[in-house]
Amino acid sequence: MLRLAVAAAGLLLAATTTTAASAAVPPHTAPARAAAGATDEVAWTAPLSTRGRYIVDADGNRFRLKGANWDGAQGSWTGSGSAADPAEHHAGQDSHGIPLGLDRAPLPQLLEDFHRLGLNTIRLPFSNEMIHSTAPVPDSAVAANPALRGRTPLAVYDAVVDALSRNGFAVVLNNHTNTSRWCCGVDGNERWNSGQSTARWVDDWVFMARRYASVPRVVGADLYNEVRRDVLDDPNWGLGDDHDWYAAAQLAADRILTEADPRLLIVIEGINWTGVPVDGLPHGRPVLSPARTLSHTLVDARKLVYSAHFYGYTGPHHSGATGIGETHDPRYQDLSPAELAGALDDEAFFVTENGRHHTAPVWVSEFGIGSGEKNPAARAWFGHVTDYFADHDADVAFWPLVGFAGHDDWALLRYDDAGHRSGILDPGDWRATAWQRLMTAPGRTGPVPSAVLWRMLSTDHGDAVASLRVRATGDWDPGAHKAACPDGTRLAGLSHTGGRGLCTDAGTGDLRAADARRTVVTDERYVPADGDWASGYTKYQCPAGEFLIGYSLRGARVSAALCVPARAALSGARRTVWFDRSDNRPADGSGGDFAYGAYKGQCAAGEYAAGIAFTTRVGSRPGPVALLCRTLP
């Protein structure tokens, strides 16, 4: 959560956020779950997957993430003073590295209160340090839950995960921090590999995903929180270096789905901050905008969810800082409703446009504001942004869910030492109207029809073999950069330069036969004598009855075409789609621009690709120049 912006050598982010003391706390009473705004979501069936812009359950019914962040296990120490002093923890709340509130209320009471809010999803942050901690939490940290005494933070986390699942909540695991320190700013948690290797980070994710693979309602892995600049360097999206968030997320997703738990949604957050927040120097919040031109393709193409965070005190180019690190850029709360909607569309919600290589659900996994907020602009922003979320049928999660009475007025629910609850369920909390509208706004429900898949392949920095079936049969072109479409899809498009491809299941669904056969084509043996569809060019054509699912490159030159047999007889009219001098794509733009800045060729939705043509002439570019497209059966 970007609630702090920490100064570092005058470069980045000063502390920004303060909280006001809460009002008097009424005694807690155990309420009926049918209170206003509450919903009964227990009947949904795990696991979750995606259909276009929607998340669906195992029965294909829409499952809108109506969530909140139960923080604490990611750490609460602010990084100054003694970690043993509660005053040195965020809002004076020492979480002891476990979800907040277990010292104040029994788990059943907490979960009942969560249901009253209308929630069906809990984003549950953790730190890598928590995973490896062997010291038991103090008895005082679990005073209201004595059965948890003597357990390590991870064992307490286990108990919370199990309880949430048993009570019908979808649980999304969130790697929030590396160290058990309050996020964010320059704090050692800027990137997934700040203070640790990418390999160690991915290993921890495999460990966590395996640990909860048997817990039915653990549905997602939210890979890392608010990736941002450290003192010296920016994260990036696709440069192939140690700061490449695109590549790191792809690696983690791949290992989670293939080695740990294939049921999980993979939640990939955009980049939260790049640049130095000084007027006149480049800086801003890219969020998900890089996905327009470089999106993720997972080995299960229906498990990708993108996420973004929005707070009123930040902005498209504003870090959220006051004082050092503050610029003259507008904050989101300074924007008109129309300007705010434009920013949200541009930075995140464009992803939900159907029929694009980047099409996926967008989860606003953090937004929030305090009950003690007095700034009219901030309060107006909360109404505007929740209206936008409601109107766009958005998946959301409020930050935070639980806090201590008299300490953190941002929390939806606050508990005093005796377990008495106050917060947004009480009369007088000005946030309640907007919250109730968000939780009860009409949206899509029931069965969601299957959506056409479009997915990008990128060989920019290595292989992009997204097919598990292809992987199982070994390396089909050693030494080359290889790309293969996810199982259930076929190759539909290629770029002339840059090594990009486009996959789809449009028009036919899974076209591939059930057997494991494949053909690696490296010469023209399958081109019929009377079938020269690209005269003067080298043609790698699939055998009769087969179609393209992949390709390989050595440098820029085409190295091989990967073909597989179809489940039904293939025939149909053929045509050559040239793209060496301009784009040649369907007029409807299906799939979107999968190779920005390069010429692209693409078969129509009612066609399949059966061949790739290129040239070996000296002085000519050796990348693909034409596709052989044939009508689907």
- Cβ atoms of residues 226 and 274 within 8 Å: no
Whether the CA torsion 541, 542, 544, 547 is positive or negative: it is negative
71, 177 in Cβ contact below 8 A?
Answer: no
**256-272 residue pLDDT tens:** 999 999 999 999 999 99
Dist. CA 143–CA 384, nearest whole Å: 40
pLDDT band at 513 (very low <50, low <70, confident <90, very high): very high
Instruction: Give pLDDT, residue 572.
Output: 85
The DSSP string of 330-375 is PPGGGS-HHHHHHHHHHHTGGGG-TTBTT---EEEEE----TT---
| Helix (H) or strand (E) run with residue 125 in it | strand 121-127
What's the whole-model pTM score?
A: 0.93
Among residues of the chain, what percentage have pLDDT more than 70? 93
Q: What percent of the chain has pLDDT over 90?
A: 90
pLDDT tier for residue 571 given thresholds of 50, 70 and 90:
confident
Is beta strand 395-398 parallel, antiparallel or unpaired with respect to 362-366? parallel
The pLDDT tens digits of the residues spanning 286-311 come to 999 999 999 999 999 999 999 999 99
Instruction: Provide φ and ψ at 587, rounded to 5°.
Output: -65, -25
pLDDT at 7 over 90: no
Closest to 79 measured CA to CA, from 187, 3, 7, 226: 187
| Arithmetic mean of pLDDT, 53-64 | 98
Q: What distances in angstroms separate CA 263 from CA 209, 221, 506, 529, one per listed residue?
A: 10, 10, 24, 48
Confidence category of residue 121, pLDDT binned at 50, 70, 90: very high
Q: Residue 545 pLDDT more than 60? A: yes
Asked if residue 400 has a cis previous peptide bond (ω within 30° of 0), the answer is yes
pLDDT band with cut points at 50, 70 and 90 for residue 12: very low
Residue 309 pairs in a beta bridge with 366
Cα 500 off chain centre by: 22
**pLDDT tens by residue, 443-481:** 999 999 999 999 999 999 999 999 999 999 999 999 999
CA neighbor of 534 nearest in space, from 603, 632, 615: 615
Using the predicted structure, report yes or no on whether residue 6 has a pLDDT greater than 50.
no
What digits encode the pLDDT tens for the residues 379-415? 999 999 999 999 999 999 999 999 999 999 999 999 9
Amino acid (one-letter) located at 66: K
pLDDT attached to residue 118: 97
pLDDT at position 24, please? 28
Q: How confident is the model over 506-533, as a mean pLDDT?
A: 95
Mean pLDDT of 128-141: 98
Torsion of CA 157, 159, 162, 163, to 10 degrees: -110
pLDDT at 430: 98
Ranking 538-542, 569-573, 609-613 by mean pLDDT, the lowest is 569-573
Using the CB atoms, write b or e for 462-475: b if 16+ within 10 Å: ebbbbbebbbeeee
Alpha carbons within 13 A on the beta-carbon side of 464:
27
